[in-house]
Amino acid sequence: MIADLFLAGLKAIIEYVSAHVLTCLVPAFFIAGAMSALLPKEKIIRYLGQKVPKYKAYPLSIVAGLLLAVCSCTVLPLFAGIKKKGAGIGPALAFLYTAPATNIMAILFTGSVLGWNLAFARIILSVTFASLIGIIISTIFKKEDMEEEKSAVPALSCACAEVKDTEKSLFFQKHRLVLFFITLLAILVVGTRVNGYLRYTLISGLIIILVIFIKLFFTKDETMAWLSETWIFTKKIFPLLLGGIFVAGVLTALLPQDFLATFMGKNTLSANLIAVLFGVFMYFPTLVEVPMAKMFLGLGMAKGPLLAYLLADPVISLASILVVRKFIGNKRTLAYAGLIVVFTTISGLIYGAIVGK
């Protein structure tokens, strides 16, 4: 029995590593490292800082999440990167919530597979929850947020050792970083959205472009700072991810076969709560939760718990909780996870009452 559970956890790790690490998580780590080492602190604080008006900071965070189709584990390094540079906890959490839950690909896929009523409910509720959770936590932990903003990591003071501080050089610096991040994001997008040999061909070409670009336009100090920050994020996040995925694999093996119909076949408060917790333990990458949800529906899961599961599964998992805790502490992580559980459970209950079984 113990050996079977160990093998189930090991299988979950192998499946995750083979499907996500090389083409999804590795680019995300490099992007997070670049954010921490190269992005000017004042830029992040100007748009996402604790003092930025909510009507500016939260839409920017949510739009960024809508355009980035990554799972909750892949978005973690990006969240860590913008948080370390001085982003307010509210906008940072709004981004963390939105990217896996409400990205364009996830909504389109939900509509085509499960119906547009469910897709519209998912995007409206996810955007609402992302904003509310961010606002609530930033309000409760305002003092901690201000202290972290003051201690945010500054970028390197010069963009190029031999470039003079002129209007022309500033223009070049701005576009140099923009092109650099576009290339990194392109590698991430290709790794997550393109399949087959074309994926590796495009990634190889983009890496060659990136290396040439770094050689021509970045100093050695900048490159080393970027690689150093990338390694720091990798050391902090990757072991926790593997541990969480292993535990999720073990818990999945322990679930009985008739679990769905027995505990989530009706639209009750307990059924919706179980569906949310089920989504936390039965972690699936973004988009994968949609065909799984269709299967769950066929196995007897009611529509209310199904929506609750869809709202929770891509956003929060054992692995992501472990990593988020590393960057924002126990209290804020508990508040973040607790608010997600409460909001998604209640929304599933209401949705199930409206649409019926």
**What is the residue type of 44?**
I
196 occurs within a structural domain? no
Question: Concatenated DSSP letters for 229-267?
Answer: HHHHHHHHHHHHHHHHHHHHHHHHHHS-TTHHHHHHSS-
Q: What mean pLDDT value characterizes the chain?
A: 79
Question: Concatenated DSSP letters for 19-82?
Answer: IIIIIIIHHHHHHHHHHHHHS-HHHHHHHHSTTS-HHHHHHHHHHHHHH----HHHHHHHHHHH
Is 166 a residue whose pLDDT tops 60?
no
Distance (Å, rounded) from C-alpha 26 to C-alpha 322? 19
Res. 268 pLDDT band, cuts 50 70 90: very high
pLDDT at 158: 46
Range of the domain at 241: 2-158+219-355
346 occurs within a structural domain? yes
Res. 69 pLDDT band, cuts 50 70 90: low
305 occurs within a structural domain? yes
**HSE on the CB side for 71, CA within 13 Å?**
24
Distance (Å, rounded) from C-alpha 321 to C-alpha 314? 12
Number of domains composing the chain = 1
pLDDT at 83: 78
Distance (Å, rounded) from C-alpha 321 to C-alpha 335? 11
Res. 51 pLDDT band, cuts 50 70 90: confident
| CB-count burial class (<10 Å; 0-12, 13-18, 19+) for 4 | exposed
168 occurs within a structural domain? no
Per-residue pLDDT, averaged over 8-15, amounts to 83
Is 345 a residue whose pLDDT tops 90?
yes
pTM for the predicted model, two decimal places = 0.68
297 occurs within a structural domain? yes
| Region of residue 209 (phi > 0: left; psi between -120 and 50: alpha; otherwise: beta) | alpha
Is 223 a residue whose pLDDT tops 50?
yes
91 occurs within a structural domain? yes
The pLDDT tens digits of the residues spanning 138-162 come to 888 887 777 766 665 565 544 444 4
Res. 164 pLDDT band, cuts 50 70 90: very low
335 occurs within a structural domain? yes
Is 206 a residue whose pLDDT tops 90?
yes
287 occurs within a structural domain? yes
**HSE on the CB side for 31, CA within 13 Å?**
26
